[in-house]
Chain A
């Protein structure tokens, strides 16, 4: 079945460090991937997305890397701040292209 998985359920970093959150996806036909951030008690918020015709995309302090050969997606956060503490989900489109399929999430904890 369709699934998106993550390598680590939790990641702890020091403020100012760079963070890398990894994700493996299963649908080789997916052409769109997205990272969401979810803070406690809130709905997921868009961070960055990438289409399959790209292998890298940069935003403000965030970079998404896509390796279609091994079906791997990563989110890099530069100079991590306490406000970055949240659960991060990667997602890919389902076979029908109608919905996003989410992984279970990585909890990022940033200590000062």
Chain B
């Protein structure tokens, strides 16, 4: 498909375990974003990748969260030692142009439940 693809769509994990969430952006999009959406809330910015530049990690809530983007395409968000408050929908978006002044296309998200 031509859209942003995220996997898995749902993930249930035990507290304390590590999880990896994957994002395949739209081909040719240079910018990639991760957001977190808690139940009934808006989207909370986590991290931004742009080409080969250093990522903007200013939104990561703790050092248990990390993300990487390999080859300027696929990105993985890793949460170590998950906590119940990490339960949320994690959304990935990509855009053709750099920066936030352009339309970003979102995936359907990964719903993470920490039990």
Contacts and interface: CB of A to CB of B under 8 A. Distances in A.
Given A43-B91, A93-B101, A105-B42, A99 B48 contact: yes
A6 to B, nearest CB: 9
Interface residues of A, number: 27
Interface residues of B, number: 27
A100 B48 CA distance: 10
A102 B43 contact: yes
A42 B101 contact: no
A106 to B, nearest CB: 10
A41 B108 contact: yes
A31 interface: yes
B75 interface: no
Contact of B42 (A31, A97, A102): A102
Given A99-B33, A99-B56, 7 more contacts: A44-B91, A89-B43, A100-B33, A100-B104, A103-B42, A104-B41, A104-B42
Interface of B: 4, 33, 35, 40-45, 48, 50, 56, 58-59, 91, 93, 99-109
